[in-house]
Chains A and B, each alone.
Chain A
């Protein structure tokens, strides 16, 4: 592994390239901690309300499209693999492979968003969007027993659903934008085995967005599916 004598990417307030890389990495990790706490507030709301209104939450969950949700989970997992392989390619100096993996990641991200779009449309058609058009008449199917639920509490479930998945989708959009920019810069040759820190750090961001979905999926879609 070689070090450039003076990599043009070295910023002058750092003593050397290794210090800069370590600083950038720690900075990104701290930013990810802020993201954990940011989504954490909504997870807190979810936890409190699910305990208080289990039946309504279960009924709402049963109305979500589990196959779209599961597919999206798989899409994100595959995109995390492509991100890791992109970083590996950057480290090996394989420019075209790097760009390829970055582009595939963006495409997978957009696939996720398209599927989410279909889901949202389905919610809209079933009148499950909170607000004046909300109308929930489904029951909680508890092992065959049809338990009626308070539609207001179901509206609370869907409020959280849209808030949490909406915020997640916003982070996906940002991630797609980020990787698009990096793909262009990578194509132009900005990254080499001595400097590919932005790829690594953007990768960390993407993995965290994946982890957030890893928790969102069972919490929102799988509350009570046995019937």
Chain B
């Protein structure tokens, strides 16, 4: 294919007739596709389905917790409900969502490539995810598991009668989906950048996905072998974690959390990348401190591997190890703070507009900051001893995972929806949904900080009556939050038929993905771009492009 220098300020091409969506209508053309954009859409559908399944379990939890007594279900059933909620949300929603949906779609586009490095492995990743999903659904339908998503031994290896091996197999297979996605991204970003696209010109979304991929590749195999060892202990009596043989149940926790802590950075880093893109576009400014933000992603990925035992402060590790991990956990907050400060500095004297993606970005910054600060509180051993395994922890991680990851994802979905589908979503309904999400979220989870502080344990199916008021508030918030999530389902689908046709660049945003049509053609670009400009060159955008992004 010929390479052409595309000037930074060339007006975008008109919408073509043939694009990746209508290039082939058969089921086979979708199920055997190797086009990264179609695979992203396949993931979008499946990940959304699992989100609502996990949400269904959340609804059951919140309904049970409306009353102090355990009256909706048996205690054992409640154990299964919160376990399934955790497994599905962690492994089948939060970990894949931004990389597999937005990352798969955008990484090749943003670097000017025709596809990822290994398109068939990309398809394999999706099938592995689906197979894992089918297995976990089967587990769910045949009794579920009741160990909590953390599968602690010896309950998971010795005493529970639920389908641990099958659930473990589902997570193992989904883990390989994750590993292959990460591997694909690393090779693509190293090897397939367009001419002129040096590392210091890459969009921050690419840097974030790169750092995320490092974690996926380095961390996931450890949880994989841990699951294998649990299965092997249950099936073949190889009692690696069995205290009767001199084994240590805490070794399971070390190996489990060695992955599962970095896993939370797999979840948050891509969303942080989205936020960088949104802030730059809707403040019409280059991101302040670009190099610091880029390197902070890598720093989070690396430091994230050093802190895992802060999940084990009261489990029985030595005090000295606890102190080391506490100190390291403080250090991992620094690169996250670097990002928040740089985003804020980007906003300063920017030309800010308030389209829906920007509302989600603002929501992210506020809620992630709260979640992150409460994380630092939990890293403090003296506080953790009191609030560990209470609703304080539950509130903390929902602030970062829902207030952080999910807000970033929703912001990104709104921002790139026109690129993915060629249609705009209805702005008024989107703003309403964003408001419902924000209000609903805070009403659901802020009371949980208080509940945890005053002593309500997590994973309990009944509680003292004095905690009921806060629980009722939390459940009320959850129903508002649910409405905020259901509305986009409706209006996004509506927009596919009736939404305004978006042009190639409705936001007048910088970035290579906006220089091709909406939706893009199957091979992304008609000519391979040659990049001669820095990222977020909003100051170079020509006058006819300088209007604020359209918010209808």
Contact = CB atoms under 8 A, between A and B. Distances in A.
Tell me, yes or no, whether A and B come into direct contact in the complex with CB atoms closer than 8 A: yes
Interface of A: 11-15, 19, 22-23, 26-27, 30-31, 33-35, 37-42, 44-45, 48-49, 52-53, 56, 130-132, 150, 152-153, 155-156, 159-160, 162-163, 167
B246 A35 contact: no
Given A27-B183, A48-B248, A159-B238, 15 more contacts: A13-B116, A23-B188, A27-B117, A30-B183, A31-B183, A35-B221, A37-B221, A37-B222, A38-B221, A42-B229, A45-B240, A156-B247, A162-B238, A167-B225, A167-B228
A23 B183 contact: no
A45 B224 CA distance: 14
Interface stretch (B212-220, B336-344, B359-367, B544-552): B212-220
Interface string B89-131: 0000000000000000000000001111111010000000000
A45 B236 contact: no
A37 B246 contact: no
A159 B242 CA distance: 11
A25 to B, nearest CB: 9
Contact of A44 (B116, B236, B255): B255
Contacts of B238: 130-131, 159-160, 162-163
Contacts of B236: 130-131, 162
Contacts of B186: 26, 30
Interface in B190-236: 190-192, 217-222, 224-226, 228-229, 232, 236
Contacts of B117: 23, 27
Nearest to B113: A13
Contacts of A42: 225, 229
Given A26-B190, A27-B187, A48-B251, A34 B232 contact: no
Contact of B179 (A26, A34, A159): A34
Given A12-B114, A30-B217, A44 B254 contact: yes
A159 B187 contact: no
A37 B192 contact: no
Contacts of A155: 239, 245
Given A12-B114, A23-B192, A153-B246, A159 B239 contact: yes
Nearest to B248: A48
Contacts of B291: none
Contact of B237 (A12, A15, A23, A130): A130
B183 A159 contact: no
Contact of A39 (B225, B240, B255): B225
Nearest to A27: B187
5 contacts: A15-B528, A38-B224, A41-B225, A130-B236, A130-B238
Nearest to B244: A152
Contact of B246 (A26, A27, A56): A56
B246 A53 contact: yes
Contacts of B220: 34
A41 to B, nearest CB: 4
A30 to B, nearest CB: 5
The listed residue with most B CB atoms (<10 A of its CB), out of A15, A31, A34, A49, is A34
A23 B191 contact: yes
Contacts of B219: 37
B240 A13 contact: no
A169 to B, nearest CB: 14
Q: Which residue, B118, B186, B225, B255, has most C-beta atoms of chain A within 10 A? A: B225
Contacts of B240: 45, 156, 159-160, 163
A12 to B, nearest CB: 7
A42 B191 CA distance: 33
A198 to B, nearest CB: 13
B221 to A, nearest CB: 4
B237 A13 contact: no
The 3 A-B pairs with the shortest beta carbon distances in the complex, nearest first, are: A41-B225, A131-B237, A38-B221
Contacts of B226: 41
Contacts of B217: 30, 33-34
A153 B248 contact: no
B199 to A, nearest CB: 16
A38 B222 contact: yes
A13 B114 contact: yes
Interface in B405-428: none
B443 to A, nearest CB: 41
B191 A22 contact: yes
Nearest to A41: B225
Contacts of B246: 49, 52-53, 56, 150, 152-153, 156
B240 to A, nearest CB: 6
B283 to A, nearest CB: 35
Contacts of A45: 229, 240, 251, 255
B499 to A, nearest CB: 30
A53 B243 CA distance: 12
A215 B416 CA distance: 49
A130 B239 contact: yes
Contacts of A153: 245-246
Nearest to B228: A167
A27 B247 CA distance: 36
A141 to B, nearest CB: 20
Contacts of A163: 229, 232, 238, 240
A56 B245 CA distance: 11
Contacts of A156: 239-240, 242, 245-247
A53 B242 CA distance: 14
Nearest to A132: B237
Nearest to B114: A13
A143 B225 CA distance: 36
Interface in B135-190: 179, 183-184, 186-188, 190
Nearest to B194: A15
Contacts of B192: 14-15, 19, 23
Contacts of A152: 244-246
A48 B232 CA distance: 19
A117 B115 CA distance: 45
Contacts of B232: 163
Contact of B225 (A27, A38, A52): A38
Contacts of B248: 48-49, 52
Contacts of A31: 183
A156 B225 CA distance: 17
A7 to B, nearest CB: 17
Contacts of A162: 236, 238
Interface in B246-303: 246-248, 251, 254-255, 258
A152 B240 CA distance: 11
Best-surrounded residue of A39, A44, A132, A156 (most CB of chain B within 10 A): A156
Contacts of A40: 221-222, 225
